[in-house]
Structure 1
Amino acid sequence: MRILLLAGAAAAALTYPSFAQTQSEADTSAAARDDIIVVTGTRREGRTALDSLAPVDVISGVALDSVVSDELMDSLAVLNPAFSIQRLPMADGAIFIRPARLRSLSPDQTLVLVNGKRRHRAALLGSRGAQSTDMAALPAFAVSRVEVLRDGASAQYGSDAIAGVINVILDETVGLRAFAQASQYYEGDGEEYQIGAQLGFELGDGGFATATLEHVTAERTSRSRQRPDAIAFEQATGIQVADPVQNWGQPEREVVRFAMNAAAPITDFVEGYSHATFTQGQGVSDFNWRNPAFTSAYGTSPLDPAYDLNAIFPAGFSPQFGSEDQDYEVVAGLRGDLGFGLSWDFSASRGRNEVDYFIYNTINASLGSQSPTSFSAGVLAQQETNFNLDFVYGWAVDAFAAPVNVAFGLEAREETYEIEAGDEASYAVGPLAVDGLPSGSNGFPGYSDLQEGSFSQDSYAGYVDLEAPVTERLTLAAALRFEDFSEFGSTTDYKLSGRYELTEALAVRATTSTGFRAPTPGQLQSERTSQGLDSTTLNLVTSGRFSPVGPVADIINARANGPEITALDAETSQNYSLGLTYQHASGFTLTADLYQIDVDDRFSTLGSFTLTDAERTQLAALGVPGGESITRVSFFQNQFDTRTRGLDLVASYGFDLGEGAVTLTGAYNYNETEVTGEAASGVFNDVSRTVFEQGLPQHNAVLSADYALGRYSVNARARYYGEWTDTDDSANVIYQDFGAEVFVDLGLRVELTENFAMRVGAENIFDTYPDESRRQANRGLIYSRNAPYDTDGGKYYLRLEANF
């Protein structure tokens, strides 16, 4: 990689042909904030980000390409300080479908659209039961721009839009373009190779079609030290163990992504359109190392004298956990104009996310010598079908400065959550369980035949959305939406917005709205057992999460004292924002927005309830897999209320410097969340409250400078992450405050010929690492697994681009 980069830099210095310049980072940064028409948060044509009634960030495809990661949400997190994402190594499925947050709210409180159409959720139920969209399934090379609406929008778009909306706009460019990129961390690991191509052509008279294909392979990273107990085991037994015995880092993975986007006129008044995406990938990661000295799976039983785990894994074992995932979405529709100012749009979509878990280099100890060492652990799937009928009418009102934009429509949606059982051996309770040998595939017990099933929910909605230019300076807007869900009932939400131009350069804007997030079928009905490692004792703990309306909930409700487990209801919100926009003739622009988001009845995992022997006997009698060894049970519940307050600042300034052009941009987000209420069960102890309120930085900022001169362009970017706090979840809680960090990225792009360009550079160019973590250090962890940034150090890259 170093040789490639040196050769690339030499080629850039020696290349001299002139080039018909394509759009540079500097060009698109300025355009994104000033002139691009936005379609998110408004149904009125002609709105730009600066004159919108609520804050909208526009991130160009060129800016996305400047970030090394192949995953779209990583690019958004680098470029937008209000958006954050974590790596979460050894966090089961969350290492592959990672949680992303807008304004530090729950991942499933941000609605994701593609070309303005609702995107389906992923099958994974993450932290606190969050079920969000897997944005990594979208090919970043197919994206023209991303619009981020930083405002509550449930009254406009329905469930999930409490924090805001992310609208991914696919490319419509005619022509052929391609890229190849290689990157590697300074440490010499994490090699990643990306290749992609996009073909766009004209379709019919005024139509277009584009097709994009990406392929990515990435190797693991490891920022680990040898576990102290592994060193002690090797010294005591003389058996050599791997160093380290487990890797904390990014998983090994391979993925193929495809996207199609098309539209073409059918008649003079009707246009057909469609877009589709398809992604298929696989990833593998380490789990915690099992020490033969005290792991219960190494026990023996007179029922199976042939069983000897020391003969299979004499040096212990670290289960290898992976997933094969498949994601697709197809959207098709017709739109047109009825000829008297009324336009219409009818669309249908089907999306599905499927995750097939597997685990190997492990054992189901309760099966003894009959156990395999690799297992299919089960399949999760989320499927959604949407129908939308939307109308927009320009209503001329003499008293107003321009026609009132009247939008109204209907929506019907069906979502289904499916669980398919894994291999029987992955969840079986074998005969050796009576002697204390753990059941299920060690590390990730498979989904059982009792847990599998298909759970559905239907919903229907109607809305009306008005936007009125009352005067040349004053615009007011109102939206109202009614939505009814088969599983919990109905909700009605509103939004009121206004914008007033104090001068031609300065304007104020404000919004107030209500919002909601409906519980999903997976949250309502699915159940799961899992294994973890106590950070103090290093003993395995088996836990179960069960349906709040199932028989296990009845067991807990039968206790004389304690909280009542109830059915889930929707999370609800009240949003407020107040902001200003400023645009100077010199090219300087500024937006500043204050916001407050009150969210009630937020989901949490209630528990864990420690079971008695009698209750474990009841679980076993119900046929719960591994019921005899489950230590704790928990349930998703509406448990607490929060208040989030913050400030967003976005500024840009473009000017000429010599024969080149400079664009300076800056974005800052201050975000503070406070738990304002909780259920009588007291779900938030001091540890939970600290993690929730202080587990992410309150201050984040991105500063960038782009300079374009002829065929050269340079991009420099500084990313600031403020202080945050992590804790250890063991019996002896450790609080650790992590200091602020600054990471600097630098890239040089050279247009080699009329059709070819090269980019070379590095992210975290100074190889900055955060504070080392005391949390779970006895497991070999160096940096916190919950860090809101990459903890793998500097990464350099070389990218070649072609455009025809």
Structure 2
Amino acid sequence: MRTSKTKLSKSIRFIIAASAAASVVSVSPVFAQEVNDDDNSFEKIAVVGSRAAPRSIADSPVPIDIIGADELSKSGNTDMLEILKGTVPSLNVHSNPISDAASLVRPANLRGLPADSTLILLNGKRRHRSSVIAFLGGGINDGAQGPDISVIPSIAIKQVEVLRDGAAAQYGSDAIAGVMNFVLKDDSDGGTLSVRRGEYYEGDGASTEVSGNIGMPLTQDGFANVSFQYKNADATSRSVQRPDAAAFAVAGLDVANPAQIWGSPEVNDDITIFGNVGLDLGNDKEFYMFGNYSERDVRGGFYYRNPNTRGGVYGGNIRDVEGVATRQPADLDKDVITSEEAAYNAATPTILVGSLEGFDQQLDCPIVEIGSNGLPNQTALDSLTAANCFAFNQSIPGGFTPNFGGNITDTSLTIGTKGEFKDGFADGVLYDLSGTVGRSESQYVIYNTVNASLGPNTPRDFRPGKYIQLEKNFNFDLVKLVDAGLYEDVNVAGGLEWHEESYEIVAGDVASYTAGPLTTQGFGIGSNGFPGFKPNDAGVSTRRNYAAYVDMEAQVTEALLLGGALRFEDYDTFGSTTNYKISAQFHLTDELSIRSSISSGFRAPTVGQANVSNVQTNLDGGVLVDSALLAPTNPISVQLGGTELQPEESDSYTLGGVYQDGDFFMTVDYYHIEVSDRLSQSDKINLTAEDKDALRAIEPNIDSFQQVSFFTNDFDTTTQGIDVVANYSADLLDGSSTFSLAYNWNDTEVTKFSEITGAFKVKRLEEDLPNHRATFTWSQSWEDISMFTRANYYGEYQGVHVDYDATAITASSAVTVDFEVSYMFSDSITISVGAQNVFDQEAERVQQTAGLDAEGLPKNNWGGVYYETSPMGFNGGLYYISANYNF
């Protein structure tokens, strides 16, 4: 700090400098200044990027976005991910219909990297991961396991700080793309109550949210700030009827229209509570505590089960020499068949699945012919009961569509104390000692499906089990200003961190995983679509690591700022890693400066990624198949190229400039990030007969798995881009105006990969996200009325449907506009109306023609209207109204 110009008391200096993530003063890159309730302008302070005393953004060596509470409230969407997507152009968030657990906790991508390459902090402390691993993550997020940002309500947040720079040397694993810090409100009085109602132009997806915040004194020297949010949201559907389902309806079967839903899931009883407590203990010491409890129920769509293509449910479809399609029903008196029939089934084109070993009895059931209209012969079906035989055509003749969902619970608690040592060798040293525990639980539920091996006795709803992520963190941080004879005292920081991470798999209900009596007749085991976790899958895997770091920042001259950080981290699994960061800022003039940083980084594989196993349903070549995700050290994974997971390693650098003149502010930053040994889920590898033989001893249902995948360090990437941020404030139109422009160009190239990753996944990594994103915002306020409008530009991107390369196209660029107007009836009551995507700009439409393309591959037969990779979402325009009461 320039002591000749600024005088801060030790207590204020301690509050800022001893923060866990330390601080740097910054004017918001989105709005240069905002006005508080007393109409006094103020500059915002961030607690990411530096452990030194606060500095203005003109003196910041790293790029930081700061989104204040006022801007967070100006969004038609209450989801924190959607709010940030509209504010930070380098952040992309996709809707994920029919994507297993990725539909329950959506991943986000900063600078084109996966969700778990961005470190999330809450009040400067590391946030725990979600228990949900995005097994079907749309290429970029395949296998990503990041924190669940959606549980954080905007009403609880004072500001969000987005550090757009690698910071693993300062904060540890995951900070390859950058860091997001959510700062909770800390008011000791006043509060807000808000009610919001919104609905899409299509007439669905209606959502209602009630939220509130209250600040209370905690004795005379502290505060207790509590926020809550409760909301419900209906599902959306952007679907048309599948051609096969339509044909069954024409033939007279009762089939839902549409049979398969592409849309946002239904969210029920989404409740979240955040608390933030601080207490001055006197003598420059402070106690703090914050945490949350969040829970919600989510239910979304799944793939339609066609009765003529799901042999593991409806029996083996075979075609005799005369061209008549037939089906072999289940014999309820026998659970095995003759070896001759097993050999016949193995040699005949069939979709009959399941183990064929040990069959030594004859099935005494009539063969059911399938007519040209796709329906089984009704006379043959009617004869099954008398013969004590069974086919699911009797009870579910038109096929079925499971619904996949779950109960997501998220809790955390951080307790700490910080202050200043007053005597001894540590005199003048600021300290921060804290402990954090975070827990995420996802209890899965699948409705309207069957365990086919149980035959007519199967339940229709199942609880396949749960995942639990538990993390514990202890931090001890020290900061001291040292007089080294430079322009300012050198800020020296150091600290220790201990971290424990565990991942637990809890078995599902028995019916969800059991191998029923029809297993030996080729009927699939477990709840179809998401088989339950077996008892031998259940258990807890744990990993511990510790870290030590040192961080220095020096104002060498009035114009030159230098910073450096070094961090050593040791894991009890794969070993240790050491990372560094060097940053600099040089003022060419009072208005213009240049800045740069260079750093190394890493991302440790999560315990879940190293140990989880799972069965997914996905499309392969246009056909619905079951795919088993196995641990990378599983024998079959090893046979296919799997190895023990290692951390990703990164090298990055940035170069940029800052210009500030009066009310005009602008930053331009170039970034370059090289990541080696990228960690992701492998491509789905088709199993050979030899693979299945090797796996059958430990997986009796192996014949129902057509594919296997596993986590692997298989490819390298280079990501580069440019961020431009500019804003200008002025008095216009008899009011106050603020204009803001934010632009991002981002390009990712996969520089090394093998067939384990696969060419199509490489294409998704490189092309799914738009290379160009921009937002232009105009905020206008008068005495009683305020207005906010934002134009969002999305460049060309790769449109992909059902993760199938035959559907991929280059989708067009698009512009959407958001608008909100607010009227202040009094100092306490404000009514706002607005719309997101006010002109209802459509996402790119999927080709709807059924049949085969020029290469003989299926065209779109799955009923989606829009490509799910649309960066602006696919639900269209949304209008809303909200009322706020301030007290």
State the TM-score, normalized to the length of structure 1.
0.93
State the distance in 2 between where 1:198 and 1:418 align: 34
Percent of residue pairs bearing the same amino acid type:
39
Task: Say whether the 8 Å CA contact 1:30–1:663 is kept in structure 2.
Answer: no
State the distance in 2 between where 1:543 and 1:122 align: 23
State the distance in 1 between where 2:281 and 2:669 align: 43
User: What amino acid is aligned across from residue 647 of structure 2 in structure 1?
Assistant: A
SS at match of 2:282: coil
SS at match of 2:861: helix
Q: Does the alignment pair 1:749 with 2:822?
A: yes
Following superposition of structure 1 onto structure 2, how do residues 351-430 of structure 1 map, counting pairs within 5 Å?
351-398=438-485, 400-430=486-516
Q: What do the CA deviations read for 1:305-326 (whole angstroms, capped 9, x no partner)?
A: 4544234323321101111010
**CA separation of 1:684/1:421 partners in 2, compared to 1, >3 Å: closer, same or farther?**
closer
**CA separation of 1:762/1:477 partners in 2, compared to 1, >3 Å: closer, same or farther?**
same
Cα shift at 1:470? 0.1
Cα shift at 1:61? 1.3
User: What amino acid is aligned across from residue 249 of structure 2 in structure 1?
Assistant: E
Q: Does the alignment pair 1:666 with 2:729?
A: no
* Counterpart selection for 1:488 from 574, 579, 595: 574
Match of 2:667 in 1: 591
**CA separation of 1:306/1:752 partners in 2, compared to 1, >3 Å: closer, same or farther?**
farther
Cα shift at 1:729? 6.9
Task: Say whether the 8 Å CA contact 2:719–2:746 is kept in structure 1.
Answer: yes
Following superposition of structure 1 onto structure 2, how do residues 40-79 of structure 1 map, counting pairs within 5 Å?
40-79=48-87
Match of 1:643 in 2: 718
Match of 1:545 in 2: 629
Match of 1:171 in 2: 185
Task: Say whether the 8 Å CA contact 1:451–1:528 is kept in structure 2.
Answer: no
Cα shift at 1:551? 3.1
Match of 1:303 in 2: 332
Cα shift at 1:427? 1.6
Match of 1:507 in 2: 593
State the distance in 1 between where 2:309 and 2:539 align: 37
Q: What do the CA deviations read for 1:742-796 (whole angstroms, capped 9, x no partner)?
A: 0001100111112110110111111110220239731110101222222111110
Task: Say whether the 8 Å CA contact 1:26–1:662 is kept in structure 2.
Answer: no
Task: Say whether the 8 Å CA contact 2:332–2:390 is kept in structure 1.
Answer: no
**CA separation of 1:70/1:729 partners in 2, compared to 1, >3 Å: closer, same or farther?**
closer
Q: Which moved more, 1:86-95 or 1:287-296?
A: 287-296
Q: Does the alignment pair 1:733 with 2:806?
A: yes
Match of 2:770 in 1: 697
Q: Does the alignment pair 1:326 with 2:409?
A: yes
Cα shift at 1:33? 12
Task: Say whether the 8 Å CA contact 1:535–1:729 is kept in structure 2.
Answer: no
Task: Say whether the 8 Å CA contact 2:100–2:616 is kept in structure 1.
Answer: no
Q: Which moved more, 1:199-208 or 1:405-414?
A: 199-208
Cα shift at 1:655? 0.1
* Counterpart selection for 1:202 from 213, 217, 227: 217
Following superposition of structure 1 onto structure 2, how do residues 51-450 of structure 1 map, counting pairs within 5 Å?
51-126=59-134, 127=137, 128-173=142-187, 174-236=189-251, 238-254=252-268, 255-296=270-311, 297-299=313-315, 300-303=329-332, 305=388, 307-339=390-422, 340-398=427-485, 400-450=486-536
SS at match of 2:540: strand
SS at match of 1:621: coil
User: What amino acid is aligned across from residue 119 of structure 1 in structure 2?
Assistant: R
Q: Does the alignment pair 1:465 with 2:551?
A: yes
SS at match of 1:368: helix
SS at match of 1:64: helix
State the distance in 1 between where 2:65 and 2:157 align: 15
Q: What do the CA deviations read for 1:89-140 (whole angstroms, capped 9, x no partner)?
A: 0000101111101101111000000000000001112133211011012122
State the distance in 2 between where 1:740 and 1:87 align: 18
State the distance in 2 between where 1:747 and 1:731 align: 38
User: What amino acid is aligned across from residue 647 of structure 1 in structure 2?
Assistant: I
Q: What do the CA deviations read for 1:370-411 (whole angstroms, capped 9, x no partner)?
A: 21111001100111000000011011122x111101110000
Q: Does the alignment pair 1:656 with 2:731?
A: yes
Match of 1:17 in 2: none
SS at match of 2:806: coil
Cα shift at 1:732? 7.0
User: What amino acid is aligned across from residue 714 of structure 2 in structure 1?
Assistant: Q
State the distance in 2 between where 1:146 and 1:107 align: 17
Q: Which moved more, 1:376-385 or 1:732-741?
A: 732-741
State the distance in 2 between where 1:729 and 1:771 align: 14
State the distance in 2 between where 1:607 and 1:244 align: 30
State the TM-score, normalized to the length of structure 2.
0.84
State the distance in 2 between where 1:135 and 1:729 align: 25
SS at match of 1:499: strand
Cα shift at 1:443? 1.3
Q: What do the CA deviations read for 1:173-200 (whole angstroms, capped 9, x no partner)?
A: 2212110000000111000000011110
State the distance in 1 between where 2:805 and 2:843 align: 24
Cα shift at 1:431? 2.4
Unaligned 5+ runs, structure 2: 1-27, 316-328, 334-387, 849-858
Runs of 4+ with >6 A deviation: 30-34, 729-732
Q: Which moved more, 1:730-739 or 1:646-655?
A: 730-739
Cα shift at 1:726? 3.1
State the distance in 2 between where 1:732 and 1:46 align: 50
Cα shift at 1:607? 4.4
Cα shift at 1:626? 2.2
Q: What do the CA deviations read for 1:68-108 (whole angstroms, capped 9, x no partner)?
A: 22221111011110111111100001011111011011110
Cα shift at 1:533? 3.5
State the distance in 1 between where 2:578 and 2:458 align: 54
Q: How many residues align?
A: 766
SS at match of 2:775: strand
Match of 2:382 in 1: none
Q: What do the CA deviations read for 1:613-637 (whole angstroms, capped 9, x no partner)?
A: 3432442321x26223211212211
Q: Which moved more, 1:428-437 or 1:686-695?
A: 428-437
Cα shift at 1:733? 2.5
**CA separation of 1:335/1:591 partners in 2, compared to 1, >3 Å: closer, same or farther?**
same
Task: Say whether the 8 Å CA contact 2:471–2:500 is kept in structure 1.
Answer: yes
Greater gyration radius: 2
Q: Which moved more, 1:118-127 or 1:640-649?
A: 118-127
Task: Say whether the 8 Å CA contact 1:376–1:423 is kept in structure 2.
Answer: yes
Match of 2:376 in 1: none
CA RMSD of aligned residues (A): 1.9
State the distance in 2 between where 1:272 and 1:184 align: 43
Cα shift at 1:29? 5.0
State the distance in 2 between where 1:49 and 1:72 align: 25
Q: What do the CA deviations read for 1:16-54 (whole angstroms, capped 9, x no partner)?
A: xxxxxxx9x978558999821221111112123342110
Unaligned 5+ runs, structure 1: 1-22, 558-563
Q: What do the CA deviations read for 1:665-685 (whole angstroms, capped 9, x no partner)?
A: 01000000001122xx43354
SS at match of 1:524: helix
Q: What do the CA deviations read for 1:223-261 (whole angstroms, capped 9, x no partner)?
A: 00111111111122x123221112110011020010000
State the distance in 2 between where 1:209 and 1:609 align: 54
User: What amino acid is aligned across from residue 65 of structure 1 in structure 2?
Assistant: S
State the distance in 2 between where 1:481 and 1:422 align: 41
User: What amino acid is aligned across from residue 716 of structure 2 in structure 1?
Assistant: D
Match of 1:581 in 2: 658
Task: Say whether the 8 Å CA contact 1:145–1:168 is kept in structure 2.
Answer: yes
State the distance in 2 between where 1:643 and 1:532 align: 29
State the distance in 2 between where 1:418 and 1:80 align: 34
State the distance in 2 between where 1:426 and 1:215 align: 32
SS at match of 2:444: strand
Match of 1:600 in 2: 676
State the distance in 2 between where 1:287 and 1:671 align: 33
